[in-house]
């Protein structure tokens, strides 16, 4: 029963970590893309529709990159590690 409580707590904390880390990485990528647009198009204004379209297209591509997908490891690795530790401590 204690393992189930521990697993529930870890899953809840990892879900929060995943959301926060995902939002942080997306904001960094969005900022990088906006700066790249400003360097290439210095006189086109800050919030032009072309800039927004550029950033949105690139953000869609970013979600398919390895860097964006590796955030899932932040959720899986701690749970796997705790499960392995519990197994070796209790069942061997």
Task: Quickly list DSSP for 56-80.
Answer: HHHHHHHTTSHHHHGGGHHHHHHHH
Where in the chain are the domains? 2-90
Task: Quote the mean pLDDT of the chain.
Answer: 87
Residue 75 to residue 16: CA distance in whole angstroms: 9
pLDDT cut 90: percent of the chain above it: 35
pTM: 0.76
Give the residue from 75, 62, 65, 57 showing the smallest Cα distance to 18.
Answer: 75
| Residue 83, burial from CB neighbour count under 10 angstroms (0-12, 13-18, 19+) | middle
Residue 45 has pLDDT above 70, yes or no: no
Q: What is the pLDDT of residues 14-31, one digit of tens each?
A: 889 899 999 999 999 999
DSSP at 11: H
pLDDT value at residue 50: 87
């Amino acid at each position: 029963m204690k393992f189930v409580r521990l697993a529930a707590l870890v899953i809840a904390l990892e879900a929060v970590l995943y959301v926060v880390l995902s939002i942080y990485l997306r904001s960094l990528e969005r900022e990088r893309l906006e700066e790249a647009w400003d360097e290439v198009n210095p006189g086109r204004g800050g919030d032009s529709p072309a800039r927004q379209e550029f950033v949105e297209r690139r953000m869609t591509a970013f979600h398919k990159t390895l860097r964006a997908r590796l955030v899932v490891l932040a959720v899986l690795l701690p749970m796997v590690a705790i499960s392995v530790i519990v197994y070796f401590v209790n069942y061997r």
